[in-house]
Structure 1
Amino acid sequence: MTSTIVGVRFNPIGKIYHFDSGKTSDLTVNDYVVVETSRGKQLGQVAQIINEPGIPPEGGWKSIERRATPRDLVTRQSWQNKEPEVLDFARNRARELRLAGVKIITSEFSFDGSRLTVFFSTETEEKADLKSLRQDLQRRFSPSQVDLRQIGPRDVAKNLCGIGACGLEKRCCCQFLSEFSSISIRMAKEQGISLTPGEITGMCGRLRCCLSYEFQQYSEARSHLPKRNKEIKTPAGTGKVIDVRPLQEMVQVDIPEVGYREFHITELDFSPQEVKKA
């Protein structure tokens, strides 16, 4: 019998993790379940049902322990209500310990309170000595097992949320992005976006996630257009390609004794093979 794999989220815009639902039948989207994770038992919500999951990861799929009960939901809420207290204590203690460059971002109890994870970031690449902070947290919030976990600039921006660099009321990462894609300068170049830092950098100080949104469309469109500086035949004569507008399929050409002219791709005399060679 083929197992049914379900995708589970632990917060509304969090990454989806996959689990085997074989022990818990008839699960549907939006059901709450209890699973074992690296941060202890967690209560998550089913986001998708996958009937054909493909090749399982090394070690196989982890199983869903059981369907969550109303009591589980109340228990999780009671522990979540304690998280602001953890945050205040951790930040104050970090100041007292003079942990320069260490920022306490957020805290999270496992749904049953057995584990407490405090997320932090640092301004330098040097490893911070947080042994004393961890010990103080352990004493204060025992019997929960305390773990300090460092996160990167993108995750910090996602947790803090706020206005996006483009002026969007809420940043993409805290509104709908459940995973971060790999972003490169090439994506900006392919779309003809200015490479000035203010144009391509997000509030996290990294390249903006939105550079990937239309990258494939631009890349595909450019593959059918002549390259810049290429000599090409036009209805007004032979000239050199100065610029292109990929999505409009328009090409700007500098023609001797004529000047700049703009043509649609259908008006030009060139082959796809010439594009690839250029």
Structure 2
Amino acid sequence: MKYKLDTDGAKLTSEGARETHKQPLSSYDWMHGIPESLHEENNLVEVQFKNTRKGYYINSEGLELHKGDWVTVEASPGHDIGRVTLTGRLVPHAMKLHHFNTERNEIRRIYRLAKPYDLERMYEAKSREHDTMIETRQIAAKLGLEMKIGDVEYQADGSKAIFYYIADGRVDFRQLIRVLADTFHIRVEMKQIGARQEAGRIGGIGPCGRQLCCSAWMTNFMSVNTSAARIQDLSMNPQKLTGQCAKLKCCMNFEVDSYLDAQKKMPSPEIVLHTKKGDFYHFKSDIFHRQITYSTEKNAPVNLVTIPVKRVFDIINMNKRNELPETIGIENPEQKTGKKPVDILDENSLTRFDAQMDDKRSNRNSKRKRNNGNQPPVSEGQKTTNNGNKPNNGGRQLRNDGENTSPAHQGNERRRNNTPNRHPQTGNGGGRPMHGAANDMPRSARPYNNGSRERNNRNPQLPKNKKEQ
């Protein structure tokens, strides 16, 4: 199978899936690549126009057409331009899928591949669609018509336009057609659509994260009843059950048949289980886990008990034999094979990491306490403060005798001692050597002056005799 890099979509797609991501209700050519000798030749071509409108045409000229080509086709009146979405043997199957009747609908011809001039005229006509729709809504409101103009589609040559409208009942729009024809000078065609078809033409993303089914592949819209939600035990919440069309979601009908088949293998909800402890009434059924929940009250959830389906059939057979079991639950504990329920809504909760963070904080606190308990005892002569277990000396180490032993201080001591014409340090607090009579006096008899350089301000400890002086 050939692969081609689609530059418009910026992704690698096969030829069979070419252009499928660009338009709603696109078709996948799963027979692409099969030799023509293995299947019948077919000159029918599926052409798609704006949104979900499609038509089927005959390639009477024998053109070599590929998926995604712009072609000019026959219209009434004039001509129209569309994009090829399917060719070959799959076209008759698509015609059956879209309920295209060849007896009632005429199959028109493909003229040629669209030329640049044709595309320019088409884009010019398409540019008038939005303004025409707004003005048509105003005209319909002035005429008092109870209808909503949902979309307007111009033909490629600009000679005709299709007006899609939504109405609950029958609407007489003959006067509206005359006004529109005189206003826009075109041929007018009115088409009534439903709310589901309008959502399909507009397109969008559903709550499941995928493209809307009505715009992706659905062509036959069936009514959806609330009984489909009851059969599947869905919550009767209008906000969750309705789609973008304000109707019940079409996907509610997809699995109804499977649920009905599964419920045939379940006991009837009308059956009451009789035991020696009392009667139990049906409350809800879990088809996936094949379990049923019973209540002691008929219309209230009281003393709920969940048991497997096999146990329910055993109790029903016992009641038919006029036997009453001791309890509704499994009497033999060895027969219990229930799994612990998992709350899938809480798996990705925002608070799922809080417990881990609390454990980390407690571990850090316990480490701090252990480190504080392993510190050596402080000597009596050393002055300390309990300020976050930090020394009050700015990070410098002190010996027990109170002398500063930081590396910077020791370097300063060496430089002072090695300087010529200086006396070595004599323990006077790191100041300059004193000269004169005061220097010859005993250390205890020297006067203490707060402003002198005798005091070593770096050392927070002072001798007791100086404090007393």
Which stretches in structure 2 are left out of the alignment for 5+ residues?
Answer: 1-39, 274-279, 297-302, 315-469
| Alpha-carbon distance in structure 1 between the residues aligned to 2:55 and 2:231 | 33
Q: Relative to 1, partners in 2 of residues 1:116 and 1:18: Cα closer, same or farther, differing over 3 Å?
A: closer
> What is the TM-score when the length of structure 1 is the normalising length?
0.70
1:48 equivalenced with 2:90 (yes/no): no
Structure 1 residue matching 2:82: 3-state secondary structure: strand
The structural deviation recorded for 1:252 is: 0.6
Structure 2 residue matching 1:28: 3-state secondary structure: coil
Structure 2 residue matching 1:11: 3-state secondary structure: coil
Which aligned pairs between 1:78-227 and structure 2 lie closer than 5 A?
A: 78-95=124-141, 97-122=142-167, 124-131=168-175, 133-142=176-185, 144-159=186-201, 172=212, 176-185=216-225, 186-195=227-236, 197-227=238-268
Structure 1 residue matching 2:216: 3-state secondary structure: coil
Structure 2 residue matching 1:188: 3-state secondary structure: helix
Q: Which has the larger radius of gyration?
A: 2
| Alpha-carbon distance in structure 2 between the residues aligned to 1:221 and 1:178 | 26
> What is the TM-score when the length of structure 2 is the normalising length?
0.45
Encode CA deviations 1:225-247: one digit per residue, 9 max, x unaligned: 44433579xxxxxx87643233x
Partner AA of 2:65 in structure 1: L
Q: Percentage identity across aligned positions? A: 21
Is the CA contact (8 Å cut-off) linking 1:39 and 1:117 kept in structure 2?
A: no
Partner AA of 1:136 in structure 2: V
- Which residue number in structure 1 is paired with residue 119 of structure 2? 73
Encode CA deviations 1:57-79: one digit per residue, 9 max, x unaligned: 44287244134313332221111
Is the CA contact (8 Å cut-off) linking 1:39 and 1:110 kept in structure 2?
A: no
Is the CA contact (8 Å cut-off) linking 1:162 and 1:171 kept in structure 2?
A: yes
Structure 1 residue matching 2:165: 3-state secondary structure: strand
Q: Relative to 1, partners in 2 of residues 1:219 and 1:204: Cα closer, same or farther, differing over 3 Å?
A: same
Q: Relative to 1, partners in 2 of residues 1:73 and 1:223: Cα closer, same or farther, differing over 3 Å?
A: farther
1:29 equivalenced with 2:64 (yes/no): no
Which stretches in structure 1 are left out of the alignment for 5+ residues?
Answer: 233-238, 271-278
Q: Relative to 1, partners in 2 of residues 1:127 and 1:218: Cα closer, same or farther, differing over 3 Å?
A: same
The structural deviation recorded for 1:19 is: 3.9
| Alpha-carbon distance in structure 1 between the residues aligned to 2:76 and 2:218 | 19
Is the CA contact (8 Å cut-off) linking 1:24 and 1:67 kept in structure 2?
A: no
- Which residue number in structure 1 is paired with residue 29 of structure 2? none
Q: Relative to 1, partners in 2 of residues 1:201 and 1:148: Cα closer, same or farther, differing over 3 Å?
A: same
| Alpha-carbon distance in structure 2 between the residues aligned to 1:38 and 1:208 | 37
| Alpha-carbon distance in structure 1 between the residues aligned to 2:87 and 2:54 | 11
Q: Relative to 1, partners in 2 of residues 1:2 and 1:252: Cα closer, same or farther, differing over 3 Å?
A: same
Is the CA contact (8 Å cut-off) linking 1:229 and 1:242 kept in structure 2?
A: no
- Which residue number in structure 1 is paired with residue 385 of structure 2? none
Q: Which has the higher contact order (CA 8 A, sep 6+)?
A: 1
Encode CA deviations 1:147-173: one digit per residue, 9 max, x unaligned: 233332223344556786x5x789826
Q: Relative to 1, partners in 2 of residues 1:126 and 1:7: Cα closer, same or farther, differing over 3 Å?
A: closer
Is the CA contact (8 Å cut-off) linking 2:154 and 2:162 kept in structure 1?
A: yes
Is the CA contact (8 Å cut-off) linking 1:154 and 1:206 kept in structure 2?
A: yes
Partner AA of 1:30 in structure 2: G
More strand, by proportion: 1
